[in-house]
């Protein structure tokens, strides 16, 4: 092929050994990669990173292909808040070799030696995301020392999840050069320390243009009715994080409230001014599959009778 310009329709499908990735048995191991979206590779000139879906040889989606569960809705605005912990020599960056640092308090959005660790790494990751044309909107140090967050906001559901997956890829890859391991476990350090989540902000056209307190309440009620279904795909070991402490609601409960970071769903104060805008689902864990998150949110939103609100 001559120079590739980023148009994935020009790329061929590619077969690979699914048994090596534990996606197939060795006696029938061929699986198919179908290119879906391309990004400029910040590591090399004229290079690209490609998002692919996995298919069986008969053309059906492989069971691991969660991307095909998401409807590509250009009217659904999505913002992911990806929290993670930078690990070095088996402990969060900045933690002493023995024991723990000072209690949480001075680390969130902080500045200064002793309050923040890893800023050079985090800012280089953000630069790489920008060079890859990802819709990354910000970074911040989180509540626990060595814990950080980046945000991705995109108009359109599928691109939001694709951007997040590429951002995660770049994060882990950059960690190789720094000798850092990126931990997205929802409770990497037990005890009185914040866990890591992936708060998911969403806004439909109806929420932005019509809105209303009744509408926002109806959406939250629908999320409560499907709470168990959502929690099944909102990340492994999430019960260790969702305890009702450290800015979370218990995993077996559902609540919502204005500006309430201890609720399952937060109604932002800015939304409550005019009752138009977005809602924040605070339940997803940091290790959750963004495609599964969006598939459940879309399914719940479809159950709402919008014309009656």
List all residues 6 or more positions away from 15 whose beta carbon is below 8 Å from its beta carbon: 30, 31, 32, 33, 57
Q: Indicate the range of 27-31, 97-101, 213-217 predicted with least confidence.
A: 27-31
Averaged pLDDT, 225-234? 98
* In the predicted structure, residue 4 carries a pLDDT above the cut 90: no
**3-class secondary structure, 250:** coil
* In the predicted structure, residue 295 carries a pLDDT above the cut 90: yes
Q: Indicate the range of 13-22, 25-34, 52-61, 77-86 predicted with least confidence.
A: 25-34
What pTM was computed for the model? 0.96
Q: Does domain 77-308 have CATH number 3.30.590.10?
A: yes
166-197 per-position pLDDT tens digit: 999 999 999 999 999 999 999 999 999 999 99
CA dihedral 248, 72, 236, 166 (to 10 degrees): -100
Cα–Cα distance between 143 and 83 in angstroms, integer?
Answer: 10
Greater model confidence, 250 or 2: 250
Q: Where are the domains of the chain?
A: 8-65, 77-308
- 144 close to 112: Cβ distance less than 8 angstroms: no
Predicted local distance difference test score (pLDDT) of residue 3: 75
- Side-chain half-sphere of 277: how many Cα atoms within 13 Å? 16
Which CATH entry fits the domain spanning 8-65: 3.30.70.1230, 3.10.20.70, 3.40.228.10, 1.10.3720.10?
3.10.20.70
211 — pLDDT class (breaks 50, 70, 90): very high
Predicted local distance difference test score (pLDDT) of residue 238: 98
Cα–Cα distance between 198 and 235 in angstroms, integer?
Answer: 9
């Amino acid at each position: 092929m001559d120079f590739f310009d980023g148009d994935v329709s020009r790329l061929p499908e590619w077969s690979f050994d699914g048994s090596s990735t534990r996606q197939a048995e060795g006696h029938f191991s061929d699986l198919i990669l179908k290119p879906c979206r391309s990004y400029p590779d910040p590591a090399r000139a004229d290079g690209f990173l490609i998002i692919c879906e996995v298919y069986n040889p008969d053309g059906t989606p492989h069971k691991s292909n969660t991307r095909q569960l998401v409807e590509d809705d250009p009217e659904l605005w999505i913002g992911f808040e990806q929290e993670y912990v930078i690990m070095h020599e088996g402990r969060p960056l900045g933690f002493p070799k023995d024991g723990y640092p000072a209690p949480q308090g001075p680390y969130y959005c902080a500045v200064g030696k002793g309050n923040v660790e890893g800023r050079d790494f985090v800012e280089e990751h953000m630069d790489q995301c920008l060079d890859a044309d990802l819709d990354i909107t910000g970074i911040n140090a989180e509540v626990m020392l060595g814990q950080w967050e980046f945000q991705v906001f995109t108009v359109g559901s599928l691109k939001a999840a694709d951007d997040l997956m590429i951002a995660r890829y770049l994060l882990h890859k950059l960690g190789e050069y720094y000798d850092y391991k990126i931990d997205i476990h929802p409770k990497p350090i037990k005890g009185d320390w914040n866990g890591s989540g992936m708060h998911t902000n969403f806004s439909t056209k109806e929420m932005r243009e019509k809105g209303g307190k009744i509408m926002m309440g109806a959406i939250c009620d629908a999320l409560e009715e499907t709470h168990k279904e959502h929690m099944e795909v909102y990340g492994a070991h999430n019960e260790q994080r969702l305890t009702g402490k450290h800015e979370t609601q218990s995993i077996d409960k559902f609540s919502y409230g204005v500006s309430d970071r201890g609720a399952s769903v937060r109604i932002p104060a800015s939304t409550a001014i005019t009752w138009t805008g977005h809602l924040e689902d605070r339940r997803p864990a940091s290790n959750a599959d963004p495609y599964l998150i969006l598939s459940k949110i879309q399914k719940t939103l479809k159950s709402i009778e919008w014309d009656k609100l």
